[in-house]
Amino acid sequence: MTDPTENTPPPATRTHALERLRRFVPIAGRDYAARRNYDLGSQGHPDVSGLSPYLRHRLITEPEVIAAVLGRHSASTAEKFVQEVVWRTYWKGWLEMRPQVWADYRQGLSRVLNDGRHDDRLAAASAGQSGIDCFDAWMGELVTTGYLHNHARMWMASIWIFTLRLPWEAGADLFMRHLLDGDPASNTLSWRWVAGLQTQGKHYIARPDNITRYTEGRFAPKGLVTDAAPLSGPPHPPRRPLPADARPDPGLPTGILLTEEDLSPGFLFDDAQGPILGHAGLMSVAGRSPLPVADPVTAFTRDAMMDARARWSGRMGAPGPLSDDPAVIAAWAVELGLGQIVTPYAPTGPTMKALNMLEAMLSEVGITLIRRIRSYDQAAWPHATAGFFRFKEHIPALLGDILPDSVDKL
Ligand SMILES: Cc1cc2nc3c(=O)[nH]c(=O)nc-3n(C[C@H](O)[C@H](O)[C@H](O)COP(=O)(O)OP(=O)(O)OC[C@H]3O[C@@H](n4cnc5c(N)ncnc54)[C@H](O)[C@@H]3O)c2cc1C
């Protein structure tokens, strides 16, 4: 849900997220179910929440959003919305058990960027000069606002892959560089789903009549390819076991490390841990792509981090560095005399990579990195073994078990 006059990225604060949620809750039931597929462009997106940049960085959390909606609507009335929020959870759990899919995507992307075969057409499509009016308009919206409606993402990805015949990895990367909510799991797996690689053999074809209907006549594209075969790829890699939650040592001097994966660190303070001496922030936004990430994305992520640091400063000890270099964080930990650093678990992606580097540096100086996994993620991720339709059968139990507990601790 955006203000129609809002064509610059929104403020990266929890206050703004809560205000968005407050405005959205009344329409999260039947209205959302009926209208969520409409992409009304310059009228803003009045039928959806626009909460994804906030959920992506957990300035606001999934249980919190679901609880607010269920406080106003019955579970059956809000079923569609709850399911959409839980898609995010499903993708995170699915990738967490198959991190190789992210590594393969990044390798495929490197190949595409290095071989240069598509350079001219890639440059034209990325500049919004494909010659397909709806596609070019969405590209402009993406670059200007850092947001696209879900249906526009599906149509764009489909046109990119099946009409423009461009490599899906380059399209996914373009999204990662420009979306404020750019997320390794939701983005990579959604592009794979459109291509026919995720649910193998089933792809998503953008149809002109569907675009015309759900844009209320804004576009009537001609010349879209509607009879292409799905892309083919290797079978899914075997699942690895999910990581276990780590517990802090109550006897050790402790530092808190925030990352852009989870900026609601309240759950870290559940357990007894040693005295908290200070806090730092590790930024990994530049690692979302091998190419430069758009300035608004970097600014949004940095501002979200600053907002969390300010909100939680009273619980986290002395402020330390905000850096994208794990070595700076390791040096801070040594200087402060820390025995452990406690941080929210960062799922597969650039932040996890940076934390792995930090962990190796810390272990050389006898400091442990404790990665805490939220109870919501612990409860949900193990069910992401197959497709979403199997996963969603667990939603009632997930809400019953986890929701009141998680929400109390936010
Ligand atoms: C090709 C493609 C790429 C995408 N890339 C991303 C991405 O990088 N990051 C991202 O957060 N979402 C991604 N999505 C999913 C979805 O498009 C966005 O989450 C949604 O459009 C965000 O708008 P909203 O907050 O107004 O959604 P709402 O309809 O209000 O939904 C509420 C919340 O549910 C979650 N959600 C809704 N739909 C989906 C979905 N299909 N998959 C996963 N989560 C969902 C989001 O967190 C969203 O904020 C992608 C979808 C496609 C088809």
The predicted structure's pLDDT at residue 108: 98
pLDDT at 407 over 70: no
Percentage of residues in the chain having pLDDT higher than 70: 95
pLDDT at 173 over 90: yes
Task: Out of 52, 56, 61, 135, give the residue to mutate to test ligand 1, the one with the largest number of ligand atoms within 8 Å of its CB.
Answer: 52
Reported confidence tier of residue 160, pLDDT bands at 50, 70, 90: very high
What does the alpha-carbon distance between residue 260 and residue 264 come to, in Å, rounded to a whole number?
10
Cβ–ligand 1 distance for 168 under 6 Å, the answer no
Q: Which CATH class is domain 102-214?
A: mainly alpha
Query: Taking residues 377-403, what's their average pLDDT?
Result: 90
Atom of ligand 1 nearest to the CA of 148: 21
pLDDT at 153 over 80: yes
Query: Taking residues 171-176, what's their average pLDDT?
Result: 98
The predicted structure's pLDDT at residue 42: 66
* Location of structure tokens 């610059």: 8
The predicted structure's pLDDT at residue 6: 54
Reported confidence tier of residue 402, pLDDT bands at 50, 70, 90: low
Measured in Å, residue 187 CA sits from the centre of ligand 1 at: 8
Residue nearest to atom 38 of ligand 1 (CA): 84
The predicted structure's pLDDT at residue 404: 57
- Architecture of the domain whose range is 14-96+379-408: Alpha Horseshoe (1.25)
Domain map (residue ranges) of the chain: 14-96+379-408, 102-214, 254-372
Over the stretch 207-232, which tens digit does the pLDDT of each residue have? 999 999 999 999 999 999 999 999 99
pLDDT at 1 over 60: no
Over the stretch 282-320, which tens digit does the pLDDT of each residue have? 999 999 999 999 999 999 999 999 999 999 999 999 999
Global confidence as pTM: 0.96
- Quote the mean pLDDT of the chain: 94
pLDDT at 408 over 50: no
Residue nearest to atom 18 of ligand 1 (CA): 150
Over the stretch 23-53, which tens digit does the pLDDT of each residue have? 999 999 999 999 999 999 867 899 999 999 9
Reported confidence tier of residue 192, pLDDT bands at 50, 70, 90: very high
The predicted structure's pLDDT at residue 50: 97
CATH number of 254-372: 3.40.50.620
Task: Out of 84, 102, 175, give the residue to mutate to test ligand 1, the one with the largest number of ligand atoms within 8 Å of its CB.
Answer: 84
pLDDT at 365 over 80: yes
Domains 102-214 and 254-372 belong to one CATH topology: no
